[in-house]
Structures are given as C-alpha cells and as structure tokens.
Amino acid sequence: RGAFFGTTPEHQERHRLTTLTEAMADKAELVQKAKLAEQAERYDDMAAAMKAVTEEGSELNNEERNLLSVAYKNVVGARRSSWRVVSSIEQKTDSSKTPLTKEYREKIETELNDICKEVLDLLDKHLIPKATPADSKVFYLKMKGDYYRYLAEVATGDSKEAIIGSSQEAYQNALDISIKEMQPTHPIRLGLALNFSVFYYEIVNSPDKACQLAKSAFDEAIGMLDSLNSDSYKDSTLIMQLLRDNLTLWMSDAQGDGEGEGEGEAEETEQAAEKN
C-alpha cells in the first residue's frame, strides 16, 4: 500500500532528488537571465532575477554574489543620482514651484527607501546567516553598511540617528572580522575601509576618523604589496589609489582649500571589490 501511494523511502528519495535537480535548473536559468539583463543594462530585471536566486535558499557562490551586488548597486545608484539632482533643483527653485519639486523628490525617496529595505531584508534573512567564509561575511556586512548609508543620505528627523547607528554597526562588525581573518591587501577588506571612511566623512561628519581609517588601511596594505597574488593585484591597487585620492581630498578640505566629497571615489570600489 505504501508503495502504491509513493511513500516508500526509495520513492521519497527519488522525489527529493528530482525536486533538487529542478530547483538547480531553475536557479541556473535565473542566473542566466541576470547575466542577460546586465548585458542589456536592464538592472531592475537583473535585481529581480538575483533576488529570486537568493530567496531560493542556498548560499550564493562568488559569481552569484557579485551579480546580486552589481544589480542592486545600479538600481539604487540611479535613484541616488536622481535624488541628488532633484534636491539641488529644489534648493534653487523659486517658492511657487517648490511643491512640485518636493513631491517629485519624495517620490524618488520612496523608491530609494524601498530598494534599500529590500536589499537589507535579503541580507538579514538569507545572506548574512548563511555566509560561511570570512570574505562572504565581510562582503555582506559591508553591503549592509552601504545600504543603511544610502538610507541615511535621504533620512531626516528621529529615524536618521538609528539608521546611522545601524550602518556604523554593520561596517564595524565587518571591519573586526576583516582585520582578524583577511590580509590587509584583500580587495574586499580595502573596499570596506574605503566605504566605511566615506561614511565617517559624509554621514557622521567626522573627517578625523575618516582620514585615520583610510590612512591605516592604505599603510597596512602598502607594507604587504609584495605578497599580493596577480589575480587581485589590479583590484587591490585600484582601491588603494582611491583611498589615497580621498585622503588627499579630505586633507585639502581640512586646510580650507575648498569643499569636496569622497563619494565618487567610494562608489568606484564596488567594481573592484565585487570581483573577489
């Protein structure tokens, strides 16, 4: 009777393997869709495909991790750029036109907040709990810090302080693990130091801490350049250059040579750090 209804252990195992094979095929197809969407520069589609891959449940490999990160970086990056443009227009617009500009800025803010919360949800529910290698943990905690930082850029009022605290906590956790488990020249560790220092400079308004963190990361890495393998040499030296550029910019600001911001440099880290 058990065999008739398909409940024998053999049948259950066969069913499990069939389901597993189908799930792997579905995942492979979603990854392929994400790659296709990236080539077509349809980043919303790319993000949707990689969100589905993440929610499928298994730990992402490096390629999948990078696809997810690149997808959402572009999706959120478009809104961050739009928000800056509209905010700038809002500040310059005469009062009769301000309500329309304000309404449009708030629309972009809502989109940006929704995207960040979607990423943070994926990180907290799926990615961080399943991350086993140190580089994956650091990568995802850095990502968590980044997306809270993006929320902090547009936040106001009471919520802003809590968001800043969440960003700092994620970055600090990532930094602690990276110092203990990773070489100073590792691109992900360097990318983390770069983005964390930008957080201190732009969000916390603490140039001293920003410079201290960036200088420490640069100095430690420069002392170990000889030990770099050829695979990560280009990525590591690129991020080191960005750290140095930010330091130069921030120190000149401190001396009153004009206003600057490290954002452009920081955002370039993703391309290098995400390959590892």
Helices vs strands, H then E, count in the chain:
12, 0
3-state helix, strand, coil in the chain (%, to 5): 80, 0, 20
Can you give the pLDDT at residue 18?
A: 59
Report how far apart, in Å, the C-alpha atoms of 64 and of each of 70, 109, 263, 276 are: 10, 28, 26, 12
Can you give the pLDDT at residue 22?
A: 63
With 0.95 as the threshold, say if the pTM is over it: no
Q: How far apart are CA 276 and CA 255, in angstroms?
A: 36
Can you give the pLDDT at residue 229?
A: 75
User: Domain map of the chain by residue range?
Assistant: 1-130, 135-276
H or E element that contains 219: helix 207-222
Same fold, 1-130 and 135-276: yes
Can you give the pLDDT at residue 173?
A: 98
Greater model confidence, 169 or 95: 169
**Which residues, including other chains, have CB under 8 Å from residue 37's CB and lie 6 or more apart?**
43, 45, 46, 49, 71
Q: pLDDT of 233-272, one tens digit each? A: 899 999 999 999 999 999 988 776 544 444 443 444 544 4
Is 158's pLDDT higher than 50?
yes
Q: 1-130 maps to which CATH number? A: 1.20.190.20
Can you give the pLDDT at residue 55?
A: 95
Q: pLDDT of 8-40, one tens digit each? A: 766 665 655 555 566 677 899 999 999 999 999
Is 275's pLDDT higher than 60?
no
Q: 135-276 maps to which CATH number? A: 1.20.190.20
Return mean pLDDT, the chain: 88
Task: Band the pLDDT of 58: cuts 50, 70, 90.
Answer: confident
Can you give the pLDDT at residue 273?
A: 44
% of the chain at pLDDT higher than 70: 84
> Which of 210, 190, 213 is closest to 202 using CA atoms?
210
